Amino acid sequence: MKNVIQELTHIVQAVSLASSPDEQVTLMVESISKTMAVDVCSLYLVNEQGEMILLASHGLAAQAVRKVKLPAGKGLVGLVASSRHPVNIADAEQHPTYYYVAETEEERFHGFCAVPLVSSGKVIGVLVVQTSEKRQFSKDEEGFLVTLGAQLALMLENYEVPVDDIERNIRVRGVKGAPGVAVGFSILCDHGELYEVANSPCDNIEEAVREWHQLIAEVSAQIDKEQLSLGDEVSEGVGGIFNAYKLLLNDSSFVGEVEASIRENNWLPGALKQTIQYFSELFLSMDDPYLQARHEDIHHLGNKLFNVWRGVKALEHDSQEDIVLMGRQISISDIAAAPADRLKAIVCFSGSGLSHTAVLANALGIPAVMGTGPISGLAERKLLIVDGDQGQVYISPNDLLLKEYRKLILEGNELTRQLQSLRLEPAVSTDHHRVDLYTNTGLLTDISPGLNNGAQGVGLYRTEIPFLIRDSFPTEEEQVEVYRQVLTAYAGKPVYMRTLDIGGDKQLPYFPISDEENPALGWRGIRFTLDNSPLLMTQVRAMLIASEGINNLHLLLPMVTSIREIDEFKSILSDACSQLKESGRKIKRPRLGIMIEVPAMISQIGFLKGKVNFISIGSNDLSQYLLALDRNNARVASRYDHVHPAVLHELKRILVSAKAINLPVSLCGEMAADPIAVMLLLGLGLRTLSMSAAKLPYIKWLIRNLSIAQSEIIVEKALKMDNPQAIRSFVGQKIKDLGLAELIR
């Protein structure tokens, strides 16, 4: 063990580059065995019953691998897991907890050192090394194994422990993409991956440039055809997805970037990969989950362009079985090629609940699970249960589980029919309190589903995307065209447009900002736009012009931390109104509000009287700032919960302070779509919520089945609890008592 850091790096890098999870674990034990010069290296992982499965081994009998199960707490491996502490002994057989398993043939080995593998505070496995000689491992060797175990635990935290075929019910966890439950047979969508293309010299530059422009035209025509194939109702609901693709294909900066790369002597696929990666990484680097998810849209389009260039045709489905599309990415082409009456669900190995694949699944009314990671041993025509409500997939389920889920599907279909009948009904509680329900949207997402699901307006419209996908600031006219479409679609209903929330974590490619140590606390939001007042003036003018004659515009300011920022913005707004009125436009000054997402503004709410017309609580950012937790960081995400006592007490303070000065309050973000949180919010006095379109019917159903008086009693009890788990359990039971258990599955 001459160079510990070098050896650690070598093992971790080698394992991370393995092509499959099964190959990873095999390479893991072989590399460790070789590096430490031991006779045995074995990896045990915990299954759902708490048993230790011998997942991989270099040195123990091959027939024991994936067959041997150690009962929970049994033997030296069980001791390591239960104590969460290494065990290092010279002769394992002499230890009182030694547990012999004949299948492993390990009676030949004596020296034993094992360390626990811990992820998110839970023991997920044990890593063991053994020698044939009787010896205790050195402190350096033990320390190396402990350090290596901590690294490997991060790689293995999502590894699905295999089960015997007789048991089946292999469960794979992902994230929720679209709600619902379905049963069907797997169809693998395995297309060429653009990111795997290597750069290569271009044989004929001018021919490649012509080929690039022909490719754009061909793919644009395909997108039009696919939109039509999905039918009028669906294509209207997901028009934003197709428009997003067309927008990028027609964007001069995107087209020009590929052409420039070709002229630098890179062949067309290499030039396309380079450009797609640039635009994709631009979005991926952002903190906003919605904007992060846009990188998937760009990656999808890049793969589509690449596969059309390769001559790959859409999948053909000749089976009469119900099908589930599965793959690293599921494209619109894959979905359009599937028979609508037999497509039951979508499973993506990558992606998030905000990706356009998830949006499309919502519009189609089929469940989707995203971000499962690679699934080992998956093949065509495997029977699957896709649970979009829980974000999980069962592979080869047994008859008992199938029966239960088929029952859930029947119940879910009936619930969907009932909820659809509520589309035009108001969200009024049983004791006659009305709640206003709005939807969140953005340029690249679809607008129609909010209207179709009964949204009373747009509670948050993000304006960043036109700025992010270009190579220069969009003109006033270009912005007017975009904003006018949204305001017109929701004519007669309020649309709350947030001014540009850019800077720090959301970099513009044509306006670079020097690196900041902490972008979340840096030059962003209203700070950025006030420092770039000509940019802000252009955007405000565009919003005002777009609203002319419709008059449903409400302005929202992001990341406000001081009254001075509001005053500076109001001066710009006044100038914009004056300029436009002087030019003959019939402009109506919009109502103005601010986002409460920085905790510092909570103490300043009393100063807002006469300054703004309303406030909107940005529950995602506010919760993250209050808890100092990034919910998108896998290492701490499990600790994030917006019903944390600290968040609830601050929300109460906001509502009390706003009520004292008669200031209307709304809330947007994931909290507004969480039934448990909604029951608490209503009890605190909140009466306006904004959420994703898919969640509107469910939250309306909840509201129409509870009384505000009951919510007020519940929230008073919840405010006395000291942890979010207790709060969730308590409120969840109350929702079940209302007969609404489906909401918290």
Name which of 497, 436, 496, 446 is nearest 696 in CA terms.
436
DSSP label of 178? E
Domain positions in the chain: 4-156, 170-189+315-419, 195-310, 422-744
DSSP string over 299-311? HHHHHHHHHHHHT
Distance, in Å, from the CA atom of 435 to the CA atom of 427, rounded to the nearest integer, reads 5
pLDDT < 70: residue spans in the chain: 1-6, 8, 14, 16-20, 158, 160-169, 190-192, 229-244, 284-296, 312-319, 332-333, 353-356, 359, 363, 376-379, 443-446, 465-466, 468-471, 503-520, 522, 631-638, 745
Determine the pLDDT at residue 566. Answer: 97
Q: Give me Rg for the CA atoms of the chain.
A: 28
The CATH code for residues 195-310 is 1.10.274.10
Query: Under 8 Å CB-to-CB from 301, ≥6 apart: which residues?
Result: 245, 248, 249, 276
Determine the pLDDT at residue 167. Answer: 45
Backbone angles phi, psi at 59, to 5 degrees: 130, -35
Distance, in Å, from the CA atom of 639 to the CA atom of 117, rounded to the nearest integer, reads 19
- Known catalytic residues? 356, 668
What's the fold here for domain 4-156?
A: Beta-Lactamase (3.30.450)
> What kind and span of H or E run contains 595?
strand 591-596
DSSP label of 184? E
Distance, in Å, from the CA atom of 406 to the CA atom of 730, rounded to the nearest integer, reads 29
**How many other C-beta atoms lie within 10 A of the C-beta of residue 233?**
10
Burial 250-260 (b: 16+ CB within 10 A, else e): eeeebbebbbe
452-480 pLDDT, tens digit per residue, is 888 999 999 988 766 766 667 788 998 99
Distance, in Å, from the CA atom of 645 to the CA atom of 724, rounded to the nearest integer, reads 7
State both tokens at 587.
Answer: 């402009």
Distance, in Å, from the CA atom of 375 to the CA atom of 67, rounded to the nearest integer, reads 20
DSSP string over 610-644? TT-SEEEEEHHHHHHHHHT--TT-TTTGGG--TT-
Residue type, 90: A
Dihedral sign computed on CA atoms, order 22, 23, 24, 29: positive
What's the fold here for domain 170-189+315-419?
A: Glucose Oxidase; domain 1 (3.50.30)
CATH 3.40.190.10 for the 422-744 domain, yes or no: no
319-360 pLDDT, tens digit per residue, is 678 989 988 778 766 777 777 788 899 998 877 766 667 767
Q: How big is the chain, counted in residues?
A: 745
Sheet of 40-46, strands arranged across: 69-70, 52-58, 40-46, 122-131, 111-119, 87-89
Determine the pLDDT at residue 90. Answer: 95
DSSP string over 436-496? EEEEEEETTS-SHHHHHTT--SEEEEE--HHHHTSSSPPPHHHHHHHHHHHHHHTTTS-EE
Characterize the bridge pairing of strands 553-557 and 495-498: parallel
Name which of 450, 447, 452, 425 is nearest 439 in CA terms.
450
Backbone angles phi, psi at 527, to 5 degrees: -65, -45
DSSP string over 207-255? HHHHHHHHHHHHHHHHHHHHHHHT-HHHHHHTHHHHHHHHHHHT-HHHH
